[in-house]
């Protein structure tokens, strides 16, 4: 055979193989995990993120932090995808998932240095994942929706979710609001429809304290009435929901009209007004006393609607059009000529109220009584945004328990029990997979260790106490941050959704295994600069770019 080299890849292509590829990928993933590690738990720190436009986001929500990071390394992006998957599936546990992924890879790197093959590590991690999920199912406690303490448990789950957020001081009041909201939309849910907290709209409004966040039984639209002479409140409302504009249609092409006679000009204007008046007449004829339009409303139409004592708002969002349709029963009308009495929706009251300095439209007493809106309050835009994120997470975890009625206990109690049982399981395995299962146990145990470190406690003392408790069969023992020592998390009511913990373990393990399986990275230099992979925690997220 010829010894002439065969060039397959382009000149601007870079290739990293074998151990170097694994090391670069692992270190990139660890950098991302380390970035959010200090945000884990009730004593976790916040991160300030500044985007290219100078907009500032302050948060300790893992999904938000990772979403705002502009990373280039593909392995780092995979960790961010883990967080996004967890957020999409269960709504919380994003920071935990990222941290666990990083620790699984850190433990795997130690095994790789000991010449244990990646395939063996992956096989061991798969067995450990199955065992961990089995432990979660075994220790999870079933919640009875018919029991007296059902709401209390749901509130505890919401409070646990919010305990690590900015709103932790208000979690008692907010937890009650969140649970009431989820149970309200679940009450009239058809059997063939899934519970979806996206059906609980949240209206953010700067002003007042966080504890003034309230649950409104009905819809709230961030719109004001279009004409000062219109009624501010309508009872026994009959609602026309229009997808079309109440304006004279503009042609799609440029046109000019030549008018030589002044009377022709007046005739032209009169015809335009006649067309606009006919729109109002159609609305009046239908019996509507409230008009909600997705598009614009001409000034002339506003005037005649006001004369007929009809309340109107315009330019509402498409998502709000759908909500008004579902909650009031109003048909979405695309042509005003087609509007009839049968298309009208109903509500007991439609009223404009002033919230802080803004005017909002409240639609209450709709046929679908389960409709609710969360009015989110806070002193500044940044605070309102963080409250909104905390409420979003809390709504999701409460929904998770309603859908899958099983709970576990926090403070690292579940992680400690998984770690304890994995070590017992590993001792029964033969071959090098035993090392991988033990490594998985060490990675899971890093979660309560991180909680202790973030709380300023000695992680060694904490872990000694937790290992002793779980060896004695105290499966609900975790780290009580307030007491600074292991305690019964069930008694402390630090309750979590079992579904969240299952998703965290599955997603983190899958991502770690996927990254470990890669031994060859081929990248075009003309693409994003990966800088050969980050050098370790504290390095740049995007290679050489500052």
Hey, which residues are catalytic here? 61, 94-95, 393
* Distance of alpha carbon 197 from alpha carbon 90, whole angstroms: 11
Enumerate residues 6+ apart whose C-beta is below 8 A from 312: 225, 226, 227, 230, 290, 291, 292, 293, 297, 302, 305
Enumerate residues 6+ apart whose C-beta is below 8 A from 303: 227
* Alpha-carbon separation of residue 257 from 265, 271, 328 (angstroms): 10, 14, 44
Enumerate residues 6+ apart whose C-beta is below 8 A from 471: 420
Q: What is the dihedral of CA 519, 524, 526, 532, to 10 degrees?
A: 20
Place of tokens 């649950």: 215
Phi, psi angles (nearest 5°) of residue 161: -60, -40
Residue 61 near residue 165, CB atoms below 8 Å: yes
Q: Quick one: which of 24, 109, 166, 3 has its CA closest to 522?
A: 24
Print the SS3 string covering 39-79.
CCCCCCCCEEEECCCCCEEEECCHHHHHHHCCCCCHHHHHH
Q: What is the dihedral of CA 250, 253, 254, 257, to 10 degrees?
A: -70
Q: What is the dihedral of CA 357, 359, 360, 361, to 10 degrees?
A: 160
List strand residue ranges (DSSP E) for 279-372, in order.
Answer: 290-293, 311-313, 332-333, 345-355, 358-364
Q: Quick one: which of 60, 123, 131, 19 has its CA closest to 444?
A: 131
Residue 463 near residue 442, CB atoms below 8 Å: no
* Distance of alpha carbon 314 from alpha carbon 297, whole angstroms: 6
Cα 414 from chain centroid (whole Å):
23
* Distance of alpha carbon 322 from alpha carbon 343, whole angstroms: 14
* Alpha-carbon separation of residue 305 from 42, 281, 353, 441, 453 (angstroms): 54, 9, 20, 69, 64
Residue 384 near residue 186, CB atoms below 8 Å: no
């Amino acid at each position: 055979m010829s010894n002439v080299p065969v060039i397959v890849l382009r000149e601007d292509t870079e290739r990293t193989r074998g151990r170097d590829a694994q090391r670069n990928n692992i270190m990139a993933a660890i950098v991302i995990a380390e970035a959010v590690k200090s945000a884990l738990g009730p004593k976790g720190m916040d991160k300030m993120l500044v985007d290219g436009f100078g907009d500032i986001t302050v948060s300790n929500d893992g999904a938000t932090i990772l979403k705002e990071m502009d990373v280039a390394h593909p392995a780092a992006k995979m960790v961010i995808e883990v967080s996004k998957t967890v957020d999409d599936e269960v709504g919380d546990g994003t920071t935990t998932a990222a941290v666990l992924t990083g620790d699984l890879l850190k433990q795997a790197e130690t095994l790789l240095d000991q010449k244990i093959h990646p395939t063996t590590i992956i096989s061991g991690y798969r067995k450990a994942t199955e065992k961990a999920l089995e432990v979660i199912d075994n220790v999870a406690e079933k919640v009875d929706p018919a029991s007296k303490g059902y709401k209390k448990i749901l509130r505890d789950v919401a409070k646990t979710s919010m305990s690590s957020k900015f709103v932790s001081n208000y979690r008692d009041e907010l937890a009650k609001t969140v649970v009431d909201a989820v149970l309200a939309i679940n009450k009239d849910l058809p059997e063939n429809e899934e519970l979806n907290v996206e059906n609980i709209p949240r209206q953010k409004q700067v002003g007042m304290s966080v504890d003034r966040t309230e649950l409104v039984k009905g819809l709230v639209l961030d719109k004001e009435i279009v004409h000062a002479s219109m009624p501010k409140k309508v009872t026994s409302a009959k609602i026309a929901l229009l997808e079309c504009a109440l304006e004279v249609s503009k042609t799609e092409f440029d046109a000019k009209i030549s008018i030589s006679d002044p009377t022709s000009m007046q005739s032209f204007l009169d015809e335009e007004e006649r067309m606009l008046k006919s729109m109002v007449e159609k609305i009046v004829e239908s019996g509507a006393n409230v008009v909600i339009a997705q598009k614009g409303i001409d000034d002339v139409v506003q005037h005649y609607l006001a004369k007929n004592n009809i309340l109107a708002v315009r330019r509402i969002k498409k998502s709000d059009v759908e909500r008004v349709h579902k909650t009031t029963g109003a048909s979405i009308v695309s042509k005003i000529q087609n509007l009839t009495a049968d298309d009208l929706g109903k509500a007991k009251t439609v009223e404009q109220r002033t919230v802080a300095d803004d005017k909002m439209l409240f639609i209450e007493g709709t046929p679908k009584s389960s409709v609710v809106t969360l009015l989110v309050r806070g002193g500044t835009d940044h605070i309102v945004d963080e409250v909104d994120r905390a409420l979003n997470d809390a709504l999701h975890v409460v929904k998770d328990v309603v859908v899958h009625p099983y709970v576990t206990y926090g403070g690292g109690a579940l992680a400690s029990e998984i770690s304890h049982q994995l070590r017992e399981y590993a001792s029964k395995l033969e071959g090098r997979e035993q090392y991988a299962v033990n490594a998985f146990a060490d990675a899971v145990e890093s979660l309560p260790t991180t909680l202790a470190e973030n709380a300023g406690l000695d992680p060694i003392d904490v872990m000694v106490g937790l290992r002793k408790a779980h060896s004695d069969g105290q499966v609900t023992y975790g780290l009580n941050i307030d007491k600074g020592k292991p305690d019964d998390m069930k008694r402390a009511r630090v309750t979590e959704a079992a579904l969240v913990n299952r998703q965290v373990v599955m997603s983190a393990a899958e991502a770690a295994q996927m990254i470990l399986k890669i031994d060859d990275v081929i990248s075009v230099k003309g693409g994003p600069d990966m800088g050969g992979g980050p050098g370790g925690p504290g390095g740049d997220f995007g290679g050489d770019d500052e």
